[in-house]
Structure 1
Amino acid sequence: MIEIQHTLVHEDVFSENFVCNLEKCKGACCVEGDSGAPLSKTELKVLEEIYPLVKPYMTEEGIKTIEEYGTWVEDFEGDYTTPCVDGNKECAYVMWENGISKCAIEKAYLEGKIHWKKPVSCHLYPIRITAYPEFEVLNYDRWHICSPACSFGNSLKVPVYKFLKEPLIRNYGEDWYKEVEEAAEFLKEQQS
């Protein structure tokens, strides 16, 4: 683990390569899993506020799910997540383009309808954050559905931290990310 300000960053974030390859995985991370995308408490209100502007991009099943359960739910572990269609299928905020699942929230953002891109946990994937009272731990999450992203990242030689530069800065700021880059250089020198 590498300590950067109030976080501990697993070395895999520096050493593993990753670039999403939607043509290969078809956006499976928005469709598979045990529950919806993890949400922070501050994101709950945001979802409630933006839902009317995101709704036109959503599927009928997603809208029905939101109208039945709300814009967010509490999962079986007591964590807040996005609701899933039929309780365990795709995220309610999924939309489909050319057979690829995409985020209706992000689509509304890209079209200028809202000013919030998507839940931070989605934006940061494959990094998963575990929060403790004094610090946060950033781990690289390995999931078989992302093997095309690992292969693509390896071919392009793009480490996880570089692929996730935008969401890491969104969550932790420019100064924090500069320290990540310095840590990456230090690790590279250590390996030489």
Structure 2
Amino acid sequence: MFSLVDDVYVEDRLFTLKARCEYEKCKGACCKGEGLGTPLFEEDIKRIEKETGEYDFFDYQRGPRLKLRKNGECMFLRGDNCTINEIKPFFCLAFPVVLHIKDGFKYLMFQPYSECSFVKSDIHYVQSISRALVQRFGQRWYDRLLERLK
């Protein structure tokens, strides 16, 4: 089920989920993706281009998406570290909360990979990804989301 927060349909479990990612167990599975590359919004592309001077980091075959290395990892991953940590795309900041846009409607959904591992937290998961949500939807929208947490 979904509840509407302004113009975004938010999966109901996001209003109650109190957990955080346990990166030391999954080893950044989200950085390796599912072999498709990280989905990008145009704002992500512009921000990465501006901050890095890099222009050959994405393709439009299934996209736009970040290009992958031959081993299937994100081209910005070096060991266990992201080289664009401060300017990560929305998908990277929010995962496993994913934004789907279909027929003009926005759906915010919780879609972890099988490798994802979580531990209980004192705060709601959406609070741990506040940077991504504010960046994408704005502070006013995020404040309205917080009002709905249970």
Structure 1 and Structure 2 fold alike (TM over 0.5): yes
More strand by share: 2
1:174-189 equivalences under 5 Å are 174-184=139-149, 188=150
Provide the residue aligned with 2:47 in structure 1. 46
TM-score of the aligned structures, taking structure 2 as reference length: 0.86
Specify the alignment match of 2:65 in structure 1.
Answer: 81
Once residues 137 and 168 of structure 1 are traced to their aligned partners in structure 2, the CA distance between those partners, rounded to angstroms, is 13
The equivalent residue for 1:123 is 93
CA distance in 2, matches of 1:42, 1:29: 20
Give a deviation string over 1:103-124, Cα, whole Å, max 9, x none: 1011xx3xxxxxxx21111111
Q: Percent identity?
A: 23
Equivalent in the alignment of 2:10: 9
What is the CA deviation profile of residues 116-175 of structure 1, one whole-angstrom value per residue up to 9, with x for unaligned ones?
x2111111111111114543110001212112xx2x1x2x24322122122211211221
Aligned CA RMSD, in angstroms, stands at 2.1
**In terms of Rg, which structure is larger?**
1
Matching residue's letter, 2:90: V
What is the alpha-carbon distance in structure 2 between the residues aligned to residue 142 and residue 9 of structure 1? 16
Give the counterpart of 1:173 among 127, 138, 149. 138
Any unmatched runs of 5+ in structure 2?
A: none
Match of 1:28 in 2: 29
Q: TM-score, normalised by structure 1?
A: 0.69
Counterpart code for 2:83? A
Matched AA of 2:44: E
Distance 2:18 2:126 in 1: 9
- Determine if contact 2:95/2:112 at 8 Å carries over to the other structure: no
Taking a change above 3 Å as real, the CA distance of residues 104 and 179 of structure 1, as seen in their structure-2 partners, is same
Report which stretch shifted further, 137-146 or 14-23: 14-23
- How far is the alpha carbon of 1:15 from its aligned partner? 2.5
Count residues in correspondence: 149
Say whether the 8 Å CA contact 1:47–1:72 is kept in structure 2: no
